[in-house]
Copies of this chain bind each other. A is one copy, B any other.
């Protein structure tokens, strides 16, 4: 299969069909009608618009996430928007059927109609994108930019790049993924025209990466970098240049994208897109458990929270946990967090070994340094075995460790690592990962997460060397 052949095959499977378009746009009309009816009933002048990848025509077949924005007059106050504007949206949602109230920075409503999940978001109808009042106000400008900037061919290239990023796990700007947003993919294609050009560039990336999406001069980057000191890739938003479209991309996502790009260019294959690969069975995964120390720490939150909040706090808890274990000489090989985005949260840790020797070997100073020797002897004598002098004339001791078992530290030390607000008062449960625990987690929808943690090798990695 030639490269362009592969891309054609992928495109065929991800490009929505005419029927799918009609179905999705039909759903949009139902929603828009409902909202317009409510607006009319209340005598409110507002514009109902379709936004996001469906409006950009860069969506993938089967991805039925729709963004519907209700744009209220710029003359309204934020309070009016959040109370009156939001209430009108809720009223429309009630007419449409089941709905959920959601809050990010901003309140909105999620409805489900047939197999389409639609977010209905109140926003302002702003004239200048640099004067936005809430983050969502920027969205209509993105839609306008993308629709004007991308050709049909480029929209297909966006689809390919999105699918590629999904396949390697770097698609999505949420805290969960810390990867590239759909808009970031669109801007990348706007800048480089084709997926292949983007991959060629990405394969050479070394953070910090600067992508000049808007033709800025050198002096621009200094201030931009100052505004986003933690970013590893900088790409100005064409509709609001001081905003970094790739602000949340992690070093890891960047590295994976860069490596996978290089490997794909060398050895293009459907596996990069997550196609033509079944995924391991639960039994294959269980077989790889032998001779390893993998520990699961589980929390049951007291309330449901916005996903970005949960993922963020969970990652903080995990980082602290890893540091704690390393302070006690445990070698943490890998760690990962997961939540069902309801109340269940879990952390997986892989260690070299689940237990450490009872005694720890301390290397002391040379006896020629008397002050240091004296304090070493004072500290260690009677705490285990030694002190003694070795062949090099230095002091040594074997002292008893406080903790020799990872489960014990994680159970007794939970107050020391449950450092995020919603985790602080919850006692986690600590388990060694076993076949039973895998079955249990699989029931919670975490099988893919555990599989990836246990197998560790991304399926496309083999293409980096063949």
A residues at B contact (CB < 8 Å): 203, 205-207, 250-252, 254-256, 258-259, 262, 288, 290-293, 331, 333-334, 352-353, 357-359, 361, 366-368, 370, 373-374, 377-378, 381, 385-394, 396, 398, 454-458, 461-462, 464-465
> Do the beta carbons of A391 and B251 come within 8 Å of each other?
yes
Q: Bound state CA distance, A256 and B352, in angstroms?
A: 37
Additional 6 contacts, C-beta under 8 A, given A333-B396, A373-B464, A388-B457: A256-B367, A333-B398, A381-B461, A385-B456, A387-B461, A388-B456
Inter-subunit contact A458/B391 (CB<8 Å): no
Cβ-defined contact, A361 with B396, below 8 A? no
> Contact: A393 with B207, CB < 8 Å?
yes
Q: Give 8 pairs: A residue, B residue, CB < 8 Å, sorted on A.
A: A250-B391, A251-B391, A252-B390, A292-B398, A385-B456, A386-B456, A388-B461, A398-B456
Task: Please state if A334 and B457 are interface contacts (CB–CB under 8 Å).
Answer: no
Inside 8 A of A393's CB, which chain B residues have their CB? 207, 251-252, 254-255
Inside 8 A of A361's CB, which chain B residues have their CB?
A: 331, 333, 352
Say yes or no: A389 contacts B465, CB within 8 Å. Answer: no
Label chain A's interface by main secondary structure: mixed
- Bound form: Cα–Cα A203–B388 in Å: 17
Q: Is the CB of B465 within 8 A of A377?
A: yes
Contacts of A462 in B (CB 8 A): 381
Chain B residues within 8 Å of A255, by CB: 366-368, 389, 393-394
Which residues on B sit within 8 Å (CB–CB) of A465?
374, 377-378, 381
A353–B331 Cα distance when bound, in Å, is: 15
Smallest beta-carbon distance A61→chain B, Å: 29
Q: What's the minimum C-beta distance from A294 to chain B, rounded to whole angstroms?
A: 11
* Given A288-B385, A381-B462, A393-B252; A258-B367 close (CB under 8 Å): yes
CA distance A101 to B389 in the complex (A): 37
Contact of A391 with B252 in the complex, beta carbons under 8 Å: yes
Let me know if A457 and B385 touch, CB within 8 A. Answer: yes
User: How far does the alpha carbon of A366 sit from the alpha carbon of B457 in the complex, in Å?
Assistant: 16
User: Which residues of the partner chain B approach A256 to less than 8 Å between Cβ atoms?
Assistant: 367, 389
Residue from B251, B381, B396, B457 in contact with A387 in the complex, judged by beta carbons closer than 8 Å = B457
User: Interface centre among A251, A331, A333, A386, by most B CB within 10 Å?
Assistant: A333
How long is the Cα–Cα vector from A401 to B171 in the complex, in angstroms? 36
Q: In whole angstroms, how far apart are the Cα atoms of A269 and B119 in the complex?
A: 85
Bound complex: CA A399 to CA B449 (Å): 22
